[in-house]
Amino acid sequence: MRLREVAELVGARFLAGEDLADREVRAGFAADLLSDVLAMVREEGVLLITGMVTAQVVRVAEVMNLAGVLFVRGKLPAKPTVEYAASAGIPLLATLHTMYEVCGILYNHGLPPAKRKPLPHENEPPHPAPP
């Protein structure tokens, strides 16, 4: 699925990187916790669906080589963040839909979930409560 189609399906507009609208999105991942993105996304070309609009979202997108970032719930990053994304070649999109709606729409239209990386201690019992 191309970013352009993603934008059309969820009624999103490009905040940055509209020139990259034909970029292929391989899979989707939704989270508000950036550490979870870093921990779990294994492949490149993933669309991050998030309500987090800090500058670090774009850094994470860059570090992880994501296809782009789709902001939900009408949230908009600050101008310097948008400018940085544009300079770094990270497309940013924004929609008024909630995260759940966006995920449902894209999933229904065949965008697969990003391959999940098993956690380091996934098969071990939960850690004891902190003292």
Query: Would you count residue 115 as binding another protein (CB under 8 A)?
Result: no
Scan residues 40-79 and list those touching another protein (CB under 8 A): 44, 50, 52, 54-57, 59-60, 62-65
Rounded CA separation 10/31 (Å): 17
Binds another protein (CB under 8 A): choice among 11, 74, 83, 88: 88
Rounded CA separation 62/89 (Å): 8
Rounded CA separation 94/98 (Å): 11
Residue 78 vs 109, nearer CB to another protein: 78
# residues contacting another protein (CB under 8 A): 31
> Any residues with CB less than 8 A from the CB of 119 and at least 6 apart, and which?
39, 40
Rounded CA separation 76/74 (Å): 6
Contacting residues toward another protein, per CB under 8 A: 32-36, 38-39, 44, 50, 52, 54-57, 59-60, 62-65, 80, 88, 117-121, 126-127, 130-131
